[in-house]
Structure 1
Amino acid sequence: MELTGEYGPPRDEQEVTAVVDITAQAFAMAAADSDSVVRKNHASQLLRLLRHDGQVAATLTLIRMGQFLGGRSVPIIGVGGVGVAPEHRGAGAATRLFHHFLREMRDEGAPLSVLFPATQPLYRRVGYEQAGARYEIRVDASSLELGERSLTLRPMRPSDEAAVDACYRRFAAQRHGWLDRGDYIWRRVRTPRHDTAHGFVVEGDSGLEGFVYLIRSLAPQGAVPKQLLKLNDLVATTPAAARRLLRFIGDHRSLAQDVVWYGGADEPLLALLREQTYQVKLSMHWMTRLLDVPKALEARGWPQGLSGALHLDVADDVLPQNQGRFVLEVEGGAARVRPGGEGRLRLHVRALAPLFTGFLTPRALQLAGMLDADDASLDVAAALFAGPAPSLRDMF
């Protein structure tokens, strides 16, 4: 696709103001809220925009961070704040914006991009596909009476921040698909817009073993309003810390009925509950785009003790560097990718995303018409990409 329109960060105050207006309209935000969010992102050099005839036509926010895949942190570019000026909607401005953006991020060296889609056709046109899920977990507070008080629980202090970050990272590294957070995501956890997050930590013999960020809001329940407890983050790195945190949350049962947090369908804390007094439901699927096929495949972790080779034939109509044949060789938990090979497994880069994360099996992709391969290649791919279902806690 021929690139048209000027692209880059805002050049002046007039363009920042235009982004504020586009963001307010695209997300039905109050003008003051949009202004605050956009100016923070501008100050951090996260904004990109497309100009048409000298006017801002579309904008997005890029977020540099990592994602744990196979136990290794893979650098990714998250995308948020995608908006198109009303007068440019339906004219391909967002598609042109993403063509520029994807090429810039690949040139920068990023192997992957991840986003939560407001609409999927746009992102599929530029090579993204569903690659994992975010689930809402809702628990009856009265069921969290676990009797665990052996560890110390106290309010979080500013001096705990580094230990909390390290505790989260130890935990997230074991959760396939979770973010290796940067400052942008941590700000959303600690200082959510329009809410107050109260932090508490659990300490044991090994130091800080868990923490929770808790947001309280009123949820009317008949004549007497009760609180809804939203856990902006909930991390336990030991069984004792898990039980202590659940008991602490359960101690709110006289004030609250429902407790809500986000994660994967395989939430381990639910195994501690006596009864199935909870609901787990899909919140949203997230989408991934491989920006550099060899780099992405070599960056993620792979199963230890498993070796194999897969001959790929990849199509990519946006980033031609990804087009062609590659041989993926896995051994000892790491991968090497070289050009060439026999191209026995043929797919578009869009279909490579759910295979890459393990969200869909090779045979599921074949059934959907997104992949073509012989049986031997399907079996090798199924073994190499097998693993836990990819999930995300954080929205961005």
Structure 2
Amino acid sequence: MRMRDLTADDYVPYRTMTSGAFGGVMEDTGPRPFDPGQTPIGIDSTELPGGVEGELAAGARIRHDRITLGGGVARCGGVGGLAVHPAHRGGGVFGQLLTAVIARCAAEGMATSMLYPSNPSIYRRFGYQVVARGERLVVPLVDLQRLPPVTGRHLVPVTAATLPRLHALYRELTAEDNAMLLREGPLFEQGMPGKGWSALLLEDESGTDHGYLSWTRVPGPGPGLEVHEILGRTRHDRLALLRSLGSWSTVLEEVTLRLRTEDPVLEALPGGGARPAPGPVPLVMMRVIDTAAMLRARHAPDTLRGTIRLEVADGTVSSGTCEAAGRWRVTAADGSITVEPEDGEAADGGARAGDADPDGDGDGTGTLGTVHLDIHAASLLLVGGRTLADARRLGLGAAADPSAESFLDALLAGPRPSVMDAF
């Protein structure tokens, strides 16, 4: 069946289909362009038995995002609104659509793809791997109102005039994270978010920004305040922001706090009354689209030097769909990473994880050894913050010569991935 780009004439059929799949009310009644910064693709209903003219059998949108990766930046295809019409489910349309999404991400030069699944297992069959989980805590304000004042800091309201300072600070404070969205236009509006959103900047006497706090006041039962982010340069700054949050204790007893993975705010929270927020835990899945591009996007630790062979196997999509599978020589030196494709087998058949290494200094070909990953291990590891041992604990295919494993673990070290989709 033929996959094609969707146009303004497809907007209403597509929105009708996704509203039926995910809920919501379809309010648009006429053609309109899809939002900028994304590629919408789909399959006409007439391509399938029982199809009807003017309907879509399936469709999806690919966001053109950029994410932080090991101190660098990588292009990422964010998959959204992937749906199959009820009349065409169960016949393999979903698989063809997702395979086309992966191929289109490759054609658009994206290093990786990301999605937020409601059913992880169906995406896992196509190489996607869970890399992060959303975290939300309910925090009693009584724990925060007792925090002492922090000297040398004061708060500034975030307005349309000061919002660019918040954006700049967000990019600075998340630059060394893994998988955080850069939140650039046109996918992210650069003006005030609206819908009750508010924020405060934390600055010193010289006017230098040190952190920010953003929230939305929520009516009805429950904590009443959704805190979107607390970011600060130091623990000192995070304590100042938490103390400001404690001022809500005159009207509220609790707040809900959204966190990054292993968020530094956790170390600054006083008391032991915080508890996980109720409700499902959102998952983030990612998939390698281009192994070499993911590695080249990263910065290497300045002290790390050496070369390994990296082999990635991908049996989830047909050969040529993307650039995830292959063999490369990966070299780190002077803070940069070089990735060169390696064609054919070595004269000795190629090093294999576990091969004997009598001299203990590599595999005899100028490398530290070989790492073998399946697509799920590659998707987990190349986004950073995990080790080959972590991949093996999850039952993923990850084997390596000892020196090569130590090298790759050091190369991909860093905080575990976090994805937060809005300010």
| TM-score category (smaller protein) | 0.7 to 0.9
- The answer on 1:30 being equivalent to 2:25 is yes
User: What is the deviation of 1:213?
Assistant: 2.4
Q: Specify the structure having the higher radius of gyration (Cα).
A: 2
Correspondent of 1:235 among 225, 228, 231: 231
- The answer on 1:334 being equivalent to 2:336 is yes
Higher percent of residues as helix: 1
- The answer on 1:323 being equivalent to 2:312 is no
Aligned partners of 1:102 and 1:291 also within 8 Å = yes
Which residue identity does 2:407 align to in structure 1?
Answer: V
User: What is the deviation of 1:359?
Assistant: 5.0
Which residue identity does 2:209 align to in structure 1?
Answer: L
Structure 1 equivalent of residue 366 of structure 2: none
Secondary structure at the aligned position of 1:29 is classed as coil
- The answer on 1:148 being equivalent to 2:144 is no
Structure 2 equivalent of residue 308 of structure 1: 306
Q: Deviations over 1:19-59 (max 9, x none)?
A: 11111111111223xx49x9674455542222242541222
User: What is the deviation of 1:276?
Assistant: 2.2
Q: Deviations over 1:302-338 (max 9, x none)?
A: 3221123221222233453443311111222221111
* Cα distance in 1, alignment partners of residues 121 and 401 from structure 2: 29
* Cα distance in 1, alignment partners of residues 32 and 148 from structure 2: 47
- Worse-matched range after superposition: 144-153 or 350-359: 144-153
% identical equivalent positions: 24
* Cα distance in 1, alignment partners of residues 214 and 103 from structure 2: 37
* Cα distance in 2, alignment partners of residues 227 and 52 from structure 1: 46
Change (3 A) 1:330 1:64: same
Aligned partners of 1:132 and 1:286 also within 8 Å = yes
Aligned partners of 2:160 and 2:191 also within 8 Å = no
Aligned length: 381
Structure 1 equivalent of residue 418 of structure 2: 391
Which consecutive unaligned segments of at least 5 residues does structure 1 have?
221-225
Structure 2 equivalent of residue 5 of structure 1: 2
Secondary structure at the aligned position of 1:283 is classed as coil
- Worse-matched range after superposition: 117-126 or 46-55: 46-55
* Cα distance in 1, alignment partners of residues 37 and 58 from structure 2: 19
User: What is the deviation of 1:354?
Assistant: 0.7
Structure 2 equivalent of residue 94 of structure 1: 94
Change (3 A) 1:280 1:376: farther
* Cα distance in 1, alignment partners of residues 376 and 334 from structure 2: 27
User: What is the deviation of 1:168?
Assistant: 0.6
Aligned partners of 1:132 and 1:285 also within 8 Å = yes
Which residue identity does 1:345 align to in structure 2?
Answer: V
Structure 1 equivalent of residue 273 of structure 2: 277
Q: CA RMSD in A?
A: 2.9
Q: Normalization by structure 2: what TM-score?
A: 0.81
Secondary structure at the aligned position of 1:253 is classed as helix
Structure 1 equivalent of residue 380 of structure 2: 354
Aligned partners of 1:200 and 1:211 also within 8 Å = yes
* Cα distance in 1, alignment partners of residues 202 and 77 from structure 2: 32
Q: Normalization by structure 1: what TM-score?
A: 0.86
Structure 1 equivalent of residue 15 of structure 2: 20
* Cα distance in 2, alignment partners of residues 90 and 191 from structure 1: 40
Which residue identity does 1:51 align to in structure 2?
Answer: D
User: What is the deviation of 1:238?
Assistant: 4.6
- The answer on 1:256 being equivalent to 2:283 is no
Change (3 A) 1:370 1:230: same
Secondary structure at the aligned position of 2:249 is classed as coil
Correspondent of 2:182 among 176, 180, 183: 180
Correspondent of 2:409 among 344, 361, 382: 382
Structure 2 equivalent of residue 298 of structure 1: 296
Secondary structure at the aligned position of 1:394 is classed as coil
Q: Deviations over 1:155-178 (max 9, x none)?
A: 321112221110110111133332
* Cα distance in 1, alignment partners of residues 187 and 248 from structure 2: 27
Aligned partners of 2:160 and 2:192 also within 8 Å = no
Structure 1 equivalent of residue 208 of structure 2: 207
- The answer on 1:122 being equivalent to 2:142 is no
- Worse-matched range after superposition: 293-302 or 117-126: 117-126
Which residue identity does 1:169 align to in structure 2?
Answer: R
Change (3 A) 1:284 1:45: closer
* Cα distance in 1, alignment partners of residues 256 and 137 from structure 2: 6
Higher percent of residues as strand: 1
Which residue identity does 2:416 align to in structure 1?
Answer: A
Secondary structure at the aligned position of 2:382 is classed as helix
Alignment of 1:48-197 (within 5 A): 48-53=41-46, 55-145=55-145, 146-148=147-149, 150=151, 151-183=153-185, 186-187=188-189, 191=193, 195-197=195-197
Structure 2 equivalent of residue 246 of structure 1: 242
Change (3 A) 1:45 1:380: closer
* Cα distance in 1, alignment partners of residues 319 and 5 from structure 2: 19
Which residue identity does 2:310 align to in structure 1?
Answer: L
- Worse-matched range after superposition: 109-118 or 143-152: 143-152
Aligned partners of 2:133 and 2:283 also within 8 Å = yes
User: What is the deviation of 1:257?
Assistant: 2.2
Aligned partners of 2:38 and 2:64 also within 8 Å = no
Aligned partners of 1:132 and 1:354 also within 8 Å = no
* Cα distance in 2, alignment partners of residues 241 and 153 from structure 1: 11
* Cα distance in 2, alignment partners of residues 74 and 44 from structure 1: 16
Secondary structure at the aligned position of 1:276 is classed as coil
- Worse-matched range after superposition: 248-257 or 363-372: 363-372
Q: Deviations over 1:131-161 (max 9, x none)?
A: 2332223311221122326533233211122
Secondary structure at the aligned position of 1:132 is classed as strand
